[in-house]
Chains A and B, each alone.
Chain A
Amino acid sequence: MSEAEIINLIVLTFKSAVPLIFAALGELVVEKSGVLNLGVEGMMLIGAVAGFIGAVTTGSIFVGMLMAMAAAVLVSLIFAVLTLSLLANQVATGLALTIFGIGLSAFIGKPFLGNTIEGLQPWAIPLLSDIPILGPLLFNHDPMLYLAVAAFFGVSWFLYRSRGGLILRSIGESHEAAHALGYPVIRIRYLAVMFGAAMGGLGGAYLSLVLTPQWQEDMTAQRGWIALALVVFATWRPSRVMIGAWLFGALTIVNFYAQSQGVSFSSHLLATLPYFATIIVLVLISWDAAKIRLHAPAALGKPFHASD
Chain B
Amino acid sequence: MSSENSQAQLELRHITKQYPGVLANDDISLKVEAGGVHALLGENGAGKSTLVKIIYGVVKPDTGEILWDGKPVQILNPSHARRLGIGMVFQHFNLFDTLTIAENISLGMDNPGDLKTLATRVTEVSEHYGLPIDPRRHVHALSVGERQRVEIVRCLLQDPKLLIMDEPTSVLTPQEVDKLFETLRRLGEEGVSILYISHKLEEIRALCDDATVLRGGKVVATCDPREETSKSLAEMMIGSEIPVMQREASGDLGPPVLEVKGLSVKSDDPFGTSLKDIDLTVRGGEIIGIAGVGGNGQKELLQAISGETPVRDRAAVSIDGQACGRSGPTARRGLGLAFVPEERLGRGAVPEMTLAENTLLTGYQSGMVSRGLIRFGHKRQRATEIRRDFDVRSAGIDSEARSLSGGNLQKFIVGREMGLSPKLLILAYPTWGVDVGAATAIHQAVMDMSRQGVGIVIVSEDLDELFEICDRMAVIAEGRLSPVRNNGETSVEELGLWMSGEFDDEPSGAGAETSHAH
A residues lining the B interface (CB < 8 Å): 163, 166-167, 169-170, 173-174, 176-178, 180-183, 289-290, 292-295, 298, 308
Contact (Cβ within 8 A) B97 A180: no
Contact (Cβ within 8 A) B107 A293: no
Known: A166-B106, A308-B58. A290 touches B270 (CB 8 A): yes
Contact (Cβ within 8 A) B103 A181: no
Contact (Cβ within 8 A) A181 B270: no
Contact (Cβ within 8 A) B107 A173: no
The residue from B59, B99, B107, B271 contacting A181, defined by CB atoms under 8 A apart: B107
- Give the residues in chain A near B78, CB-CB below 8 Å: 181-182
Total A-B contacts with CB atoms under 8 angstroms apart: 55
B residues lining the A interface (CB < 8 Å): 58-59, 77-79, 90, 93-99, 103, 106-108, 112, 138, 140, 269-271
A7 to B440, CA, bound (A): 80
Contact (Cβ within 8 A) A177 B79: no
- Give the residues in chain B near A167, CB-CB below 8 Å: 107
Known: A163-B106, A181-B108, A289-B270. A169 touches B58 (CB 8 A): no
A294 to B97, CA, bound (A): 8
The residue from B90, B107, B112 contacting A170, defined by CB atoms under 8 A apart: B107
A289 to B140, CA, bound (A): 14
Chain B, interface SS category: loop
The residue from B79, B90, B95 contacting A182, defined by CB atoms under 8 A apart: B79
A173 to B95, CA, bound (A): 10
A180 to B93, CA, bound (A): 10
Contact (Cβ within 8 A) A298 B97: yes
Known: A289-B270, A290-B271. A166 touches B99 (CB 8 A): yes
B94, B95, B103: residue with the most chain A Cβ atoms closer than 10 Å: B94
Q: Contacts A170-B96, A170-B103, A181-B78 given; 16 further ones with Cβ under 8 A?
A: A166-B99, A166-B103, A169-B96, A170-B107, A173-B98, A178-B96, A182-B78, A183-B107, A289-B270, A290-B270, A293-B98, A293-B270, A294-B98, A294-B138, A298-B97, A298-B98
Contact (Cβ within 8 A) A293 B271: yes
Chain A: CB-nearest residue to B268 = A289
A298 to chain B, nearest CB (A): 7
- Give the residues in chain B near A169, CB-CB below 8 Å: 96, 98-99
- Give the residues in chain B near A174, CB-CB below 8 Å: 94, 96-97
Contact (Cβ within 8 A) B98 A295: yes
Contact (Cβ within 8 A) A173 B106: no
- Give the residues in chain A near B138, CB-CB below 8 Å: 294
Known: A170-B107, A290-B270, A293-B270. A177 touches B59 (CB 8 A): no
B491 to chain A, nearest CB (A): 37
B396 to chain A, nearest CB (A): 25
Contact (Cβ within 8 A) B106 A182: no
A214 to B400, CA, bound (A): 58
- Give the residues in chain A near B271, CB-CB below 8 Å: 290, 293
A217 to B263, CA, bound (A): 60
A237 to chain B, nearest CB (A): 13
Contact (Cβ within 8 A) B270 A173: no
- Give the residues in chain B near A182, CB-CB below 8 Å: 77-79
Contact (Cβ within 8 A) A166 B98: no
- Give the residues in chain B near A289, CB-CB below 8 Å: 270
A295 to B96, CA, bound (A): 12
A308 to B53, CA, bound (A): 11
A174 to B79, CA, bound (A): 19
Contact (Cβ within 8 A) A180 B94: yes
A106 to chain B, nearest CB (A): 41
B24 to chain A, nearest CB (A): 12
A290 to B97, CA, bound (A): 12
B98, B99, B140: residue with the most chain A Cβ atoms closer than 10 Å: B98
- Give the residues in chain A near B58, CB-CB below 8 Å: 308
Contact (Cβ within 8 A) B98 A177: no
- 26 A/B residue pairs, CB under 8 Å, sorted by A: A163-B112, A166-B103, A166-B107, A169-B96, A169-B99, A170-B96, A170-B99, A170-B103, A173-B96, A173-B98, A177-B93, A177-B94, A177-B95, A178-B107, A180-B90, A181-B107, A181-B108, A182-B79, A290-B270, A290-B271, A293-B98, A293-B140, A293-B269, A293-B270, A298-B97, A308-B59
Contact (Cβ within 8 A) B96 A177: yes
A134 to chain B, nearest CB (A): 36
A105 to chain B, nearest CB (A): 37
- Give the residues in chain A near B140, CB-CB below 8 Å: 293-294
A307 to chain B, nearest CB (A): 11
B89 to chain A, nearest CB (A): 12
- Give the residues in chain B near A180, CB-CB below 8 Å: 90, 94
Chain B: CB-nearest residue to A173 = B96
A295 to B59, CA, bound (A): 34
A177 to B103, CA, bound (A): 14
Q: What 4 pairs across the A-B complex have the smallest Cβ distances?
A: A290-B270, A177-B94, A173-B96, A293-B270
Chain A: CB-nearest residue to B53 = A308
Contact (Cβ within 8 A) B94 A181: yes
- Give the residues in chain B near A183, CB-CB below 8 Å: 107
A278 to B309, CA, bound (A): 33
The residue from B90, B97, B108 contacting A173, defined by CB atoms under 8 A apart: B97
- Give the residues in chain B near A178, CB-CB below 8 Å: 96, 107
A13 to B434, CA, bound (A): 64
A180 to B89, CA, bound (A): 12
- Give the residues in chain A near B108, CB-CB below 8 Å: 181
B58, B93, B270: residue with the most chain A Cβ atoms closer than 10 Å: B270
A35 to chain B, nearest CB (A): 17
B20 to chain A, nearest CB (A): 13
Chain B: CB-nearest residue to A297 = B98
Chain B: CB-nearest residue to A166 = B103
A201 to B320, CA, bound (A): 64
- Give the residues in chain B near A170, CB-CB below 8 Å: 96, 99, 103, 107
A28 to chain B, nearest CB (A): 15
- Give the residues in chain B near A181, CB-CB below 8 Å: 78, 94, 107-108
